[in-house]
Chains A and B, each alone.
Chain A
Amino acid sequence: MPDLQFQATVNGRKVARSAKPHQRLLDFLRDDLQLTGNKEGCGAGECGTCSVFVDGVLMKSCLMPVAKAQGAQIETIEALARTGELSVLQKAFYKAGASQCGYCIPGMVMAATAAIRANPFAGREEIKERLGGNICRCTGYQKIFDAVEMARDVQNGKLPASALSEIEAEQGDFIGRNVRRIDAPSKVSGALKYAGDMTMPHMLHVQVLRSPHAHARIVSIDTSAAEKLEGVEGVISSADVPGEDGFGVFVNDQPIMARGKVRYVGEAIAAVAAEDALTAMRAVEKIKVVYEQLPAIFDPDDAMHDGVPVLHDYAPDNVTKHIPIRVGDVEKGFAESDLVLEETYATQAIEHAYLEPEAGLAYVDPDGVVTVVSPSQNITHHRHMLARIIAKPIAKVRFIMSPVGGGFGGKEDMIYQGMLALLAMKTRRPVRLVFTREESIISTAKRHPSRTTLRMGLMRDGRIRALEMKMISDGGAYGLSTEGVMRKAAILAAGPYVIPNVKIDTIGVYTNNTPSGAFRSFGALQTEFATESMLDVAAERLGLDPFEIRRVNAMRDGATTHTKQKLGSVSLMRALDAAEKASAWEKGAPNSRGGNRNDLNRDDVRPPVSLGARFETADKQEAAE
C-alpha cells in the first residue's frame, strides 16, 4: 500500500510528509500536524467545525481526501491569530460573547472570515446565508451574527477599532452588564483542547463493538482473533470488570459493557485498544459474539402489560419510576367546572446533538491512580461509581473534566469512561476514544419521549379548577436520569398556576429503545407542553386572550406550589408582559383572526424558505452604479 508523498503549505509553512491514501485533509491536519483547532463534529459535511481554507477557498476538510490538497496553500483556524494577536473577527466574537461551549467556533470564525472576504459589505441576511454550512448548538446564532456585523463595520471604518477593545471592569459591578467570557480567546483562536484534541505519548486508540440487537442474550464472546491482530494491545468485555459492575444516576442498572444480555441497539459489548484507530476498528470486526435473540419491547404502554419481556429483574413491571402528586379532589373540581377539556399530547425522543461527540482519554499515573479525562457533566459522581466498579479506593481514581463541547444534559452519564479506565489498566498505556457522530447518536441518552393524557377543568373566566395528568415516558433500556426526570416532570406539570385540585402521575418505563436521560428542562418540557397547549385550547374555547388566561391563573409572590414549596417571589407576570411585547401579539382569542397574519411582506420579515440575499445585494449595487 503506497503512502502518498504529500506536500503543501500549511499556515505559511512548507510541509512534506507521507500520508495514508485514505486520509482526509482533516485527519492529516489534526492527527499528523496536531493542528486541532478545527474539529470533527460530524465527519459528513453537515456541521462546519472542520472548515479550512484551501487555496483561499473555504472547504470542509472532512469531505476532502488529503490528496486533493496536494500542493495547496492551506490555512486552518490557527492561521488567523498566528502573530499572537486575534484577528478583527476573532476579537468581535470575543466582544459580542459569540462563543459558548466553543466547539463550533473555530469553524464559525473561518466561515465568517470567508463571508466577509467574499463580500465586505454583506448584510445580515447574506451573512446568515454564507454561514449556512456551519452549525452552532449553543448560541442561537444571534450573537454570532452580531459579531460578524461588528467586524464588518470595523473593517469598513463604520465603527472605530476601539469598539472591539476590552471594557474596563466596571468597579466590580457585574449584574446587568455584559461581562466578557474569560475563556473566549482560547475558543475563538482554536487553542482550547477538548478531549478529542488531546494526545499523550505512547497513546492507544479505542474502538467499541456495539450491539446490533435490541434485546438478546449473549451466549459467548470470542475475542481471540482480535487479540492476535498486530497492533492490538488490549481487548475488554464485561468479564474484565474487577469490581461491582453497574452505573446510573439513580439506580446502578447499567454495566460498563453488556453483561449477559444486550438491551438496546448500540449498547457497548467489547472494546479494543490498538496502536491506531483503523487497527482497532479491524480488530472490532474480528470479535465474534453469539447472540440468542429475545423478544423486545419498544412501546412503554405495552411494556407495562403482564407477560411481556422484562428488561431488568429488579423491576418485574418494567417501571423505572412512578411519581404521584395529589392535591385536593380533582373529581370535585371537574364537577364544579364550566368547561372540562381532555386531550392527549405526545413528544418524541430528541438527540442533544452537542457539536462535540463524546471523547475521553485515560491513563494510570505513576502512583497507580486511574485517571479519566472527559467532558463529563458529573465527574464527582462518576469518580465514586468508577471506584466501586474497578474495585479501587477512591484516592486511586481521578476524573478530570475537559472542556465540554456542549452537553445539555447528554454528558451526565458515565457511558464510556469505564471502558477507558479498564483499557488503561489493562494495557498500562494511555488510551483515547473519540466517538463518531453516528456512534454518539446511536448509543447515548435522548430526551424522554412521552405520551400524556390531560384533563383540565376551567371556569368561564379562565380560572383552572382541576388538572389531572398522566404521563407515560419511554425511559429506554437503562435508568440513567429517568427517576429525576419523572420527578421534575411531575413537580412542574401544573405550571406556575394556582390550581386547587391536582392529580399528577408521571411514569418512566423500561423498553428496548435507546436509553432516555437528562436533557435541559429535565422533564418539564414534556408535561408543560401538554399544560400550555391545553391553556391555548381553553383560551380558544372560552374566547379569551392566551396571555390573559395565564395572568388569571398566575401564581404571585408568596404562592405555595402544588408540592408545597413557598415561593418568595414569582416573576411570571413580568415574563408574560415581556413575551407579549416581544412577540407583537395582537390581542384576542387565538382563533379570532383567521389563519394568516398579513405582515409577511414587511422589510424585517423574510418570507418562508427563500435564499439569495447575495443577489439582492448585487442588484442594489448594480442599480447604484
Chain B
Amino acid sequence: MLTCDEYLTPRTLDEAFAAMATHRGRYRVVAGATDTLPWARQGRAGDVNIPVLIDVSKIPEMNERGANDRRVRLGAAMPFQRFLDDANLGRAMPCMPRCAVWFADDQIRAQATIGGNIINASPAADGTPCLIAHDASVELAVARGGKISRRKVALDKFILGPSKTALEDGELLIAIECDALPGYGGSFEKVGHRRSLVISLVCLAVLVKLDAAGKKFEDVRLAIAGIGPVPQRLTQVEKFLRGTPIDAERLAQAADMPVELVASRTRQDYRRDVVRGFMMRGLINAARRAGADAQALTGELEAAYA
C-alpha cells in the first residue's frame, strides 16, 4: 500500500519545481500513477511511505499536444487515450492508435501517461517503440537558481536499461517531440498472455511509406521491444527494404533478420518465432494501410499473416 503525508497538485511548472525544491529527497513525481500505485503492493515494493507525492498531470504545458505535417509535440502527461480520440494525431503517427488499443484497457489508457511510460522504462513498454520509430526526442527541464533550463535528448539515448533513464535528480520530462509521418501505413503487433491488461512479451511498431503506385517501399521504420533490456530500432532491416519492391521472398528475408537480436531473460525460442511472424504480419499490415497495390500484396500473402 502506498501512503504519503502530502499529495500536491501543482498547476504550473514553477509551482512544481518549487515543490520539488522544498521537499528535496522526500518526494516522488507521479503523472497517471498507474505504475506507481501497483508497484507499492505486496510482492513488489510492499508497503511504501513517500512523504510527498507531486502530481504533474494537471500542468497545462504537460498536457499540450500538436501535430503538423512535419513535427509532433506531445506533453509528457498526455494519456494514451488521446491517440485514439484525436484524429489529427492518428494521421501524424499512424501506428500510435494501433498501439493504443493494445495499451492496458479502455480505462487505464485514459489515465496512463506517455511520459510515465517512458520514465518507468519497462523493457516491455508499449509506447516507446513507436516513438523511437518516429525518431523521438525528449525535452527535459530543471530549475536552477529560480530559472528553468531545458535540454533535449534522443529517446533511444535516454532509455538506458530496465527502469533506468538519463533523467537527472530534480528534472522533469516535459514533452516528447518527433517526426510527423502522415501518409505512412502503421501497424503495431503485440502478444502477451491475453489481449487486454497484458504486458508485451514482444511488441513491434511498423511504419511504411510506399511509392505512388503502391509497389515499392519508399521508407520503412521498425522498432521492437520485449526481446531485450531496451527497445531497439531495426535500422539494418529498414535499409534492406528501403527502395525495394514489395516481394514475398524479400519480406521473408527481412523477417529473419532481427531474430538473432532476441536476448530476453526468458522464453527466447518462443520470442524468435514471434519476431519472425510479427515482422511479416507488421510489414504486410502496414503496407496494406499505406495503400499497397493488390498485385504486389497478394491476397495469399495477406491471408497467411493476417
Q: Which A residues are closer than 8 A to B by beta carbons? A: 1-2, 4, 21-22, 24, 43-46, 48, 51, 57-60, 62-65, 67-68, 70, 111, 114-115, 118, 129-130, 132-133, 278, 281, 285, 436, 438-439, 442, 601, 607, 609-612, 614-615
Contacts and interface: CB of A to CB of B under 8 A. Distances in A.
B42 A67 contact: no
Contact of B5 (A21, A62, A133): A21
Given A21-B5, A22-B7, A48 B42 contact: no
Given A1-B6, A129-B196, A439-B42, A68 B110 contact: no
B259 to A, nearest CB: 19
Given A1-B5, A22-B4, A24-B37, A132 B108 contact: no
Interface in B1-19: 1-7, 9
B267 interface: no
A94 B34 CA distance: 33
22 contacts: A43-B41, A44-B41, A45-B104, A45-B108, A48-B105, A58-B107, A59-B111, A60-B107, A63-B33, A65-B7, A68-B55, A68-B57, A114-B106, A132-B106, A132-B196, A133-B105, A133-B108, A607-B306, A609-B195, A611-B190, A611-B195, A612-B101
Contacts of B30: 65
Nearest to A57: B110
A56 to B, nearest CB: 10
Give the secondary structure class of A's interface: mixed
A557 B142 CA distance: 81
Nearest to B84: A614
B118 to A, nearest CB: 19
A402 B32 CA distance: 36
A45 B41 contact: no
Contacts of A439: 42
Given A58-B106, A111-B107, 5 more contacts: A51-B107, A57-B110, A59-B111, A67-B9, A129-B106
Contacts of B110: 57-59
B102 interface: yes
B161 interface: no
B195 A129 contact: yes
B191 interface: yes
Interface string B80-118: 000010000000000001100110111110110000000
A70 B190 CA distance: 35
Contacts of A24: 37
B303 interface: yes
Nearest to B304: A601
Contacts of A115: 106
B53 interface: yes
B25 interface: no
Contact of A64 (B33, B41, B102, B106): B33
A156 to B, nearest CB: 21
A601 B97 contact: no
B170 interface: no
Interface string B195-206: 111000000000
Contacts of B84: 614
Given A67-B7, A68-B57, A614-B101, A46 B197 contact: yes
Contacts of B55: 65, 67-68
A610 B194 CA distance: 10
A504 B259 CA distance: 48
B105 A132 contact: yes
B43 to A, nearest CB: 6
A129 B4 contact: no
